[in-house]
Structure 1
Amino acid sequence: MPLKHLFKAMLNWQIDKNPGKRYIKNHTISIEGKSDLQLSAAKAFKGDPSLHNPEDLLLSSLMSCHMMSYLYVCSLHHINVLSYTDNANGTLETDETGSGRFVEVNLHPVVTIDNPEQIELANTLHQKANELCFIANSCNFKVLHTPTCTVNESLT
């Protein structure tokens, strides 16, 4: 029987007091016990470019979840990960109706390990991490990986 986990968040938005203006899209997401998130729409959709937007958060969620899944599978294979960075990008397509969707996300993880004999295994484990990633499993678009693995034996 699957275990179920419930996550809760609260959104708060109020109309801007300047009459005649289009809706300002800035809003707050609150999650109990955590700092509030100030969000807006993406700049391309008339939002405040200084704030995070839902597209930023989706991409961030995929990167973060993949990293945590990857660190888990590396621990199962006794790979000592010394550092992990990612510079991801996602493609969002919109149509003439204003509707849109992500069609692809590309993760570019750069992993540093301490054992040169484990580089090939470390690179292949990204596929297993993708299979375990809760967020990737919830998406209806491709999540691709172009991993790089380097060795730094002096950091151990």
Structure 2
Amino acid sequence: MADTEHSYAVTVTWTGNTGAGTQSFRGYERAFEAAAPGKPPIPGSSDPAFRGDPARWNPEDLLVASLSACHKLWYLGLCAQAGIVVTAYTDSAEGRMTEQPDGAGQFTAVTLRPRVTITAESDAAQALALHHRAHAHCFIARSVNFAVTHAPTIVREKD
């Protein structure tokens, strides 16, 4: 079977020109809007540590959210195929980034902490094991050059 290629078109528009453009480092906002056809825009900014608006999504938040969402989507699909009924899923994901003295930096790790509730009839051991398969299939995790680990918790509903 041949590989299938997918493409994703996103437009990021800087909305932080306060009237003088980038005449000075402190004279502009880091605000932007990310948009894709047919989807609501995402208001963004830089991280507050880099003069950003804490009320807006920053690229670092979006990267961690992408890893978490990708894992969740694979996991739910694998559970459905395996006959494991998931009734709730929440992930408290956390990313770690290191910044060098010159301002450059990179993510060094992301830890996913999904808390998954399954029905009493579902196999908890298999539900736990499927996190490894989800991780192995996640497009985003397979595309980054830092460790993405997971520490799942499986909770069974009462009979």
TM-score, normalization by structure 2: 0.91
Root mean square deviation, CA, Å: 1.5
Deviation at 1:121, TM superposition (A): 1.1
1:13 aligned onto 2:14 = yes
Structure 2 gaps, min length 5: none
CA-to-aligned-CA distance 1:88-123 (integer Å, 9 cap, x gap) = 111000101111111000100011111366111111
Instruction: Count the aligned residue pairs.
Output: 154
Contact 1:38 1:51 in 2 (8 A): yes
Aligned partner of residue 140 in structure 2, secondary structure: helix
Aligned pairs (5 A) from 1:2-151? 2-14=3-15, 15-18=17-20, 20=24, 21-115=26-120, 118-151=123-156
What percent identity do the matched residue pairs reach?
Answer: 36
**Alignment-mate amino acid for residue 97 of structure 1:** D
How much has 1:129 moved relative to structure 2?
Answer: 0.1
8 Å contact from structure 1 (residues 113, 153) kept in 2: no
- Which has the larger share of helix? 1
CA distance in 2, matches of 1:112, 1:37: 30
Contact 2:85 2:122 (C-alpha < 8 Å) held by counterparts: no
- Give the whole-Å Cα distance in 1 for the aligned partners of 2:138 and 2:65: 13
CA distance in 1, matches of 2:89, 2:151: 13
Paired with 2:3 and 2:119, the residues of 1 have a C-alpha distance of: 36
Q: Distance in 1 between matches of 2:120 and 2:131?
A: 17
Deviation per CA, 1:118-155, whole angstroms, max 9, x where unpaired? Answer: 1111111101000111111111111111010011145x
TM-score, L = length of structure 1: 0.92
Q: Where in structure 1 are there 5+ consecutive unaligned residues?
A: none
Work out the CA distance in 2 between the residues paired with 1:64 and 1:6: 18
Q: In structure 2, the residue corresponding to 1:125 is in which secondary structure?
A: helix
